[in-house]
Amino acid sequence: MFRVGIITSSDKGATGHREDVSGAVIKEMVEQKGYQVIRQVILPDEKDLLAEEMINMADNLDVELILTTGGTGFSKRDVTPEATIQVCERMAPGITEAIRYFSLKITPRAMLSRATAGIRGNTLIINLPGSPKAVRESLEFCLDSVDHGLEILTGRDSECARKED
């Protein structure tokens, strides 16, 4: 069972002016996968606050996976990718590239996502879109592969090669 932290980046959500539906979708989906949600927070679109929480979840709470939602667009307040880059030691661009590629089959606006992914210690951090529908589609697409990546990252598996049929 992997331990998960969920961060929703939303000025309106942080002040109670918008319900956090996307964070709830993430929680539901990872719990169905057998993961344990350790912490779920809603923060304003502030790079330093987002980075501090990512560090807290990775370094103090020892979660293996942090999933963020929101803050990946073109608005001047959208700074989740910058916070993620700031705290990561190694980047994992293939994850969000694959999500964008998959999402382009659904909407051409997927090209506007600035989401990123990276690793801090033994924690994988992935930026997801802000809309509940896009969060669900993204996780349905990538969660099995992310699960395998987490097994490798945490030393529970050492084989990346696919098994022969």
Question: Tokens in use for 131?
Answer: 């809309």
* 5: helix, strand or coil: strand
Assign 106 a pLDDT band (cuts: 50, 70, 90): very high
Q: Domain ranges in the chain? A: 3-153
pLDDT tens figures, 129-151: 999 999 999 999 999 999 999 99
Q: Is the pTM of this model over 0.75?
A: yes
Q: What are the phi and psi torsion angles at 164 (to 5°)?
A: -70, 145
Helix, strand or coil for residue 160? coil
CATH says 3-153 is which class? alpha beta
CB of 63 closer than 8 Å to CB of 39: yes
Residue-wise pLDDT for 2-21, tens only, equals 999 999 999 999 999 999 99
Of 43, 103, 100, the closest CA to residue 69 belongs to 43
Q: What pLDDT shows up at residue 148?
A: 96
User: In which band, very low, low, confident or very high, does the pLDDT at 162 lie, cut at 50, 70 and 90?
Assistant: low
